[in-house]
Structure 1
């Protein structure tokens, strides 16, 4: 495998996009991307890089997701400046948001803005294009009901992938029947789709700013399930959310059902440590 000359690639991308920078420093980018902060004293940009053949279309999908969130006019997201490919590297250039201290009403505003985002709806569940959840493809074919979308576009692809990887899962027909009965028949909501505590930042105004989306028009409780999976969100957020956009009865009993999708994703990316949690949830709803 050839060694990537990131310095040269960064200079070439900046030149291609008519951006001059004075300094370049690495940022945390997770397991998938190399991320850099390009500063010129006037406009600072984040540059994300990954291998174009390994993750085809990932940054185009991220650009689409960020622009979809921005078009809702409900919550802050960074502006996208460019996507492209140079040699074997795909790239995404976007606005840098310098982290700041949260405003006193940060959690209440976050709850209000997330509720407003979720009120953004569509005629069907799904999206115009597929995208990614972490490093895995996420399929967004249109479906007419929340349960069909969640079962067919979220659970089943991950369950099938896990079984191909050799993980034994206790999936019975009763599980899918119960999913269909339990999932509320609500309108589709525009959701972030991967809303753990690493995918928001506090912007210069002390307000929430969403990053790294995996958007779709989907059951809104999916975002709440992910938010509660790893913690990091104050209960004031959920209280205010429920005041602005009241949740259907029994939503707390369904949280684990939504978390199942994200745990399946973790099982397929990180391995067997998540299998027990996955089977526990499947058995609970079977």
Structure 2
């Protein structure tokens, strides 16, 4: 952790105006864990807060995050850091959050508790897929136009925008000439499988999940929308995964329908394409392999 410092006058005034908390003499300590925002612990009086900072143009991203956190908290399945204030100075956007002492999921009991909470979250369903506003997946805009059908939402609001970005960045040839044909065939996966429109975290890898000091499961950094619950479950298997007890407990409580393995590849293609678009060619090979797997199943 870097040495503590105080917020500049503009930021201190903006934080106080937005939150009603006195930030005179507050101490900021930089913390790691993010590649998009600057993250800090704030000591103000006898209280500790968590602060995210970015360029002023990033305010819509923080507004969307506050919306997602509020929606997840309303479900009451997980502990969710409360958004306390957000806004911007002429140079910096900020999001002030409740500080929660966290530790990684590690034990079998952690996994079982997290699974029970996720099942409860996913049982919060509605009639339509999408969300009441667009938001962000990482730093990429995420389209959430409400749809009556899951397959159409998945194609139009998830895969098409990422493939368009990838093409603009010069990856069209590597991803294959069959990409458009593949998109046309995706609805065939859902002729007999009709998922509910569950409330989803939307970016559920192990870096956005933790356990509070009292053992309560915690989620944060959401990209909320309503969709197939398998999309959350699939992403949980990316980038290190969760404890094996989590998967056993979730599947015991609410087993995925047949065909999950292929749907997992489809849903995680969205995230790998996003990483390709955000972070570059290092994710191209994985995206190509996933496209080939889907093409082998859908373009026979």
Of stretches 35-44 and 215-224 in structure 1, the one that deviates more from structure 2 is 35-44
Inter-partner Cα distance in structure 2 for 1:229 and 1:32: 19
The answer to whether structure 1 residue 264 and structure 2 residue 273 are counterparts is yes
Instruction: Return the alpha-carbon distance in structure 2 between the equivalents of residues 246 and 72 of structure 1.
Output: 21
User: TM-score of the superposition, structure 2-length normalised?
Assistant: 0.87
Which of 116, 122, 128 is the matching residue for 2:126? Answer: 122
Name the stretch that deviates more: 56-65 or 252-261: 252-261
Query: For residues 10-159 of structure 1, what are the structure 2 equivalents within 5 Å?
Result: 10-16=11-17, 17-20=19-22, 22-40=26-44, 42-53=46-57, 55-100=58-103, 105-159=109-163
Q: Is the 8 A contact 2:32 2:39 kept in 1?
A: yes
Q: Could you tell me how far apart the structure 1 residues matched to 2:108 and 2:214 are?
A: 11
Structure 2 residue 289 is the aligned partner of structure 1 residue 280: yes
Cα offsets for 1:248-268 (capped at 9, x unmatched): 112133221111000000010
Match of 1:229 among 238, 242, 256: 238
Q: How many pairs does the alignment contain?
A: 281
Deviation at 1:247, TM superposition (A): 1.2
Contact 2:59–2:94 at 8 Å: present in 1 too? no
Offset of residue 244 of structure 1: 1.8
CA positional deviation for 1:214: 0.3
Change in CA separation of 1:99 and 1:9 when aligned onto 2, cut-off 3 Å: farther
**Structure 1 gap segments, 5+ residues each:** none
Q: Distance in 1 between matches of 2:10 and 2:29?
A: 14
Give 5+ residue unaligned stretches, structure 2.
Answer: 1-5, 296-300
Which SS does the other structure have where 2:42 is aligned?
strand
Which whole-Å deviations, capped at 9, do the CAs of 1:210-261 have from their partners, x for residues lacking one? Answer: 0100000011111112111112301211111122222111213322111100
The CA distance in 2 between the partners of 1:185 and 1:104, in whole Å, is 32
Q: 1:176 aligns with which of 180, 183, 188?
A: 183
Whether the aligned pair in 2 keeps the contact of 1:100 and 1:205 (CA below 8 Å) is: no
Taking a change above 3 Å as real, the CA distance of residues 48 and 173 of structure 1, as seen in their structure-2 partners, is: closer
The structure 1 segments of at least 4 consecutive aligned residues displaced by more than 4 Å after TM superposition are: 100-104
Say if 2:86 and 2:94, in contact at 8 Å, map to a contact too: yes
Q: Residue 25 of structure 1: CA displacement? A: 0.5
Q: Secondary structure at the match of 1:62?
A: helix
Between structures 1 and 2, the one with greater helix share: 2
Cα deviation for residue 201 of structure 1 reads 2.2
**Does the alignment pair 1:192 with 2:201?**
yes
* Alignment partners' CA distance in 2, 1:271 and 1:101: 28
The CA RMSD measured in Å over matched residues stands at 2.0
